[in-house]
Amino acid sequence: MTRKRLLLLLKPFDVFPKAKAGLSRVTNPKVLSYLDNRRKVHKDAINFCQDILQKKNVNWQPILRSHLSQAIRDVDLVVTVGGDGTLLQASHFLDDSVPVLGVNSDPTQAEEVEEFGPEFDATRSIGYLCAATVGNFEQMVDNILEGKTDPSKLSRMSICVNSKLLPKYALNDVLIVHPSPATVSRFSFRIKRDGHPGGHLVNCRSSGLRVSTAAGSTAATLSAGGTPMPILSKDLQYMVREPILHGAVNSSPLHGLVQPHEGLEISWFCKEGLLFTDGSHVFHSIQHGDTIELSSNAPILKVFLPNHLS
C-alpha cells in the first residue's frame, strides 16, 4: 500500500506579540503571562501533532505558512496547525483535489475570558473551520487515512479585475475599500445574470463593499449585521459598509445575495482602492474606472469540518 503524503502547515511564532521585558510596553503581569501561555500552547500543539504523525504510516513534511510561495501539489492531505487564518492561507495554494484538515492549536478558554474580561480581551483562536484540536487530532487523522470520513465541499469566490482572473480564490470574503479608512469609497454595482447585466444599478458612497461566501458569512459579515448562511451554500452575500444615505432612501439594495448563476459587477470611482481577499495579507490595487467581477464560479475547497457544521 502506498504511503500517504501529508503537508503540515504551521502558524509561525512571530504572530504573537513579544512579551519579554524591553520588547513591549505591556506591563500587566496577567497580560504577559497570557501572551507567554499562548505561544507555549501553540508550540506544544505543533510538537504533539508531529509526534502523532511520526507514529503513522505517512510521509509528512512541515512548513511555515509564511514560506508558502507556490501551489500545493503531490500530497494527499494538508494539515494546518494554527487557526482559521492558517487554513485560509492554505486555501490560496490549493485546487479542488487536495483536502485540508484544520487543527485549532490555541482554542479560546471560556473560563479565561470570564476571568480576564474586565481587564483585557482574552479571546484566543476561534477555529470555526477547524475540525481538530490536540484532543481529537489522532482520531481525525486515523479516520481520514482509513477513508472513514469525507471532506465537505466549500464554495469559493472568483475575482476578476478588468476581465483578468486573479490567482487567489476567496474562501471567506472580499473587501473593496479606499486605502484610507477615513476616505469615502465611491462605486456602483449590479448583479449580472448568465453573464449579462440584469440587475438594478446601485450607486454608492460608503466605507466600502464586503462580499462573503457561505463560509465567511459567520465572520466579519455577521458582525456587521449580515445573515449566517448554510455552510454548503453556493450563494454569495454582499453588504455595503456604512452607506451614506440621505432622507428616506431604500437601503434594501445595499445588502443581498448573489446566486450561483449570477455575478456581482462593481465599478470603482475613486482614484485608488484596495481589494482584500480573506483578510489583510492578500490584496490587489485598483484605480478609477476599474471593473471587478465576483462570482461563485470557482473551484471548490475540500475541508474536513467540525461535526456541528458538516
Per-residue model confidence as pLDDT tens for the chain (310 residues): 578 999 999 999 876 666 554 545 667 788 888 888 999 999 999 999 999 999 999 999 999 999 999 999 999 999 999 999 999 999 999 999 999 999 999 999 999 999 998 988 999 999 999 999 999 999 999 999 999 999 999 999 999 999 999 999 999 999 999 999 999 999 999 999 877 776 789 999 999 999 999 999 999 999 999 999 999 999 999 999 999 987 655 567 899 999 999 999 999 999 999 999 999 999 999 999 999 999 999 999 999 999 888 7
Final residue before a domain boundary, out of 149, 167, 187:
149
Q: Is residue 308 part of a domain?
A: no
The answer to whether residues 162 and 273 belong to one domain is yes
Final residue before a domain boundary, out of 149, 179, 212:
149
Compute the Cα dihedral for 85, 131, 116, 39 and give only its sign: negative
Q: Could you tell me the CATH number of the domain that includes residue 69?
A: 3.40.50.10330
The answer to whether residues 123 and 197 belong to one domain is no
The answer to whether residues 142 and 186 belong to one domain is no
The answer to whether residues 11 and 141 belong to one domain is yes
- Provide the residue range defining the domain that includes 55: 4-149
The answer to whether residues 31 and 144 belong to one domain is yes
The answer to whether residues 76 and 183 belong to one domain is no
- Kindly list the distances between the CA atom of residue 196 and the CA atoms of 78, 161, 209, 217, 288, in Å, as whole numbers in the listed order: 38, 17, 21, 26, 23
- Kindly list the distances between the CA atom of residue 234 and the CA atoms of 34, 302, 310, in Å, as whole numbers in the listed order: 39, 14, 15
Q: Is residue 310 part of a domain?
A: no
The answer to whether residues 111 and 8 belong to one domain is yes
Q: Is residue 305 part of a domain?
A: no
DSSP symbol at 15: G
- Would the pTM count as exceeding 0.85? yes
Final residue before a domain boundary, out of 149, 176, 195:
149
Quote the strand ranges of the chain, DSSP E. Answer: 4-10, 58-64, 77-82, 100-104, 152-154, 158-161, 164-165, 173-177, 185-193, 196-197, 202-206, 209-212, 236-240, 255-258, 262-268, 272-277, 282-287, 291-295, 301-304
Q: Is residue 232 part of a domain?
A: yes
